[in-house]
Structure 1
Amino acid sequence: MSQGPVTLPRWRPLAAARPAMPPVWWHWVASRDSLTRRLVAAGAPRAFRVRLLDQRIDRPHRDEALALGIPIAQWAWLREVALCLDERPWVLARSVAPLSRLRGQRLERLGDRSLGSWLFRQPDLIRGPLEATADPPPFGHTLPVAAGPWGRRSVLRHGHFAVLVQEFFLASMADDLGLPSR
């Protein structure tokens, strides 16, 4: 079932966001490796966990379809999660994969496992250009969390499979790591 109108983030190329971004945030937003691994390392010894917020077949938002290069009306697998350290959400993430490009992937079986933990084990994984936003995430409103200073997104490809991964860093992460709020 499609959601009602939402205010979508304004995405811009990563390089365009750099002048406004403190170097400590650049380290997080511009990294091209696994965010899951970075969160586990930064949060140690706290326990990392994925909290599944929503998973469904639906149509992507217009900007998501454009980023994936698919028609706006095409059906996609959507997954929204909170990446938590000791049950405290640090990142909200939304993944969008066109059904036509799933090619037998059983993503609905991920449950409380990180999509990144699977993706970054694929030897032919290609990450497209990163984009950044200072806008809050358009999902995850059922969690009592404050939006953080930055979000990022990119399309990751593994063979014919493609997924748009959007990650929004939360104020709780900034507070726990002593990072500036902007």
Structure 2
Amino acid sequence: MAEPGLRHWRPRGVPGARPRPGALRDWLDEPGSLTRRLRGLAGEAFSVQVLAEYWGRVWPDERQRLRCRDEEWLWVREVRLGRGDQPLVYARSVIPRSSLRGPLRRLRSLGRQPLGALLFGRYPVVRGAIEVAPLTPASRLGARALAQGAAPCWARRSVFAITGRPLLVTEVFLQPLIEELAHDPIPD
């Protein structure tokens, strides 16, 4: 049974997995750095607000994507990326302990540095398939990312491998960004 407020994650390009308008779809399908695109949109006002960083058990679908055991504790980082005080994207990174060795141990101490700067900068990275899903505040993810009463929005996620070590990144496109992109002239 599907989780309330979150339809099944679907690979991008599957019928029903692609939202309208075209500009949002373009952002959801972006194979490169979302951080880079947000910096381009926000300019000097680009901001990272760290909401939480902790060791914990993660949601069943996250464990499944990372092939982790139920009892395994993983590093979780939740941030809002935005323009000044205006949040544009909520991001949740889930990282197995085994991925936090060697140079990647820095992932636990990023502070206000965006994960994307590390993912797409210093190390060879392989991105798995991008999955997308519509989202409402009734889901676990929606409850973390959205304000009560917020309009439904879209999320995407991918498993990345940095030097062969996996991590899952989920990004929720928040209403201010969706509204701004609705005025983008990119055709459908």
Normalized against structure 1, the TM-score is what?
Answer: 0.84
Evaluate the alpha carbon distance shift between residue 20 and residue 49 of structure 1 in structure 2; reply closer, same or farther with a 3 A threshold.
Answer: closer
Q: Indicate yes or no: 2:176 matched with 1:168.
A: no
Evaluate the alpha carbon distance shift between residue 7 and residue 73 of structure 1 in structure 2; reply closer, same or farther with a 3 A threshold.
Answer: farther
CA contact (8 A) 2:46 2:83 kept: yes
Q: Indicate yes or no: 2:39 matched with 1:35.
A: no
| Structure 2 counterpart of 1:83, from 63, 81, 84 | 81
Report the identity percentage.
34
User: Residues of 1 paired with 2:176 and 2:13: CA distance?
Assistant: 25
Q: Which residue number in structure 2 is paired with residue 131 of structure 1?
A: 131
Computed over aligned residues only, the root mean square deviation of the Cα atoms, in angstroms, reads 2.4
Q: Which residue number in structure 2 is paired with residue 25 of structure 1?
A: 24
Evaluate the alpha carbon distance shift between residue 25 and residue 176 of structure 1 in structure 2; reply closer, same or farther with a 3 A threshold.
Answer: closer
Q: Which residue number in structure 2 is paired with residue 153 of structure 1?
A: 157
Moved more, 165-174 or 121-130: 121-130
User: Residues of 2 paired with 1:174 and 1:91: CA distance?
Assistant: 10
In the comparison of the two structures, how many residue pairs are matched? 174
Evaluate the alpha carbon distance shift between residue 144 and residue 114 of structure 1 in structure 2; reply closer, same or farther with a 3 A threshold.
Answer: farther
- Unpaired runs of at least 5, structure 1: 1-5
Q: Which residue number in structure 2 is paired with residue 3 of structure 1?
A: none
Q: Which residue number in structure 2 is paired with residue 115 of structure 1?
A: 115
User: Residues of 1 paired with 2:46 and 2:128: CA distance?
Assistant: 26
Q: Which amino acid letter does the alignment assign opposite residue 118 of structure 1?
A: L
Moved more, 95-104 or 8-17: 8-17
Evaluate the alpha carbon distance shift between residue 142 and residue 150 of structure 1 in structure 2; reply closer, same or farther with a 3 A threshold.
Answer: closer
| Structure 2 counterpart of 1:58, from 56, 59, 79 | 56
Answer 1 or 2: higher relative contact order, Cα 8 Å, separation at least 6.
2
Q: Which amino acid letter does the alignment assign opposite residue 78 of structure 2?
A: E
Q: Which amino acid letter does the alignment assign opposite residue 42 of structure 1?
A: L
Normalized against structure 2, the TM-score is what?
Answer: 0.82
CA contact (8 A) 2:12 2:132 kept: yes
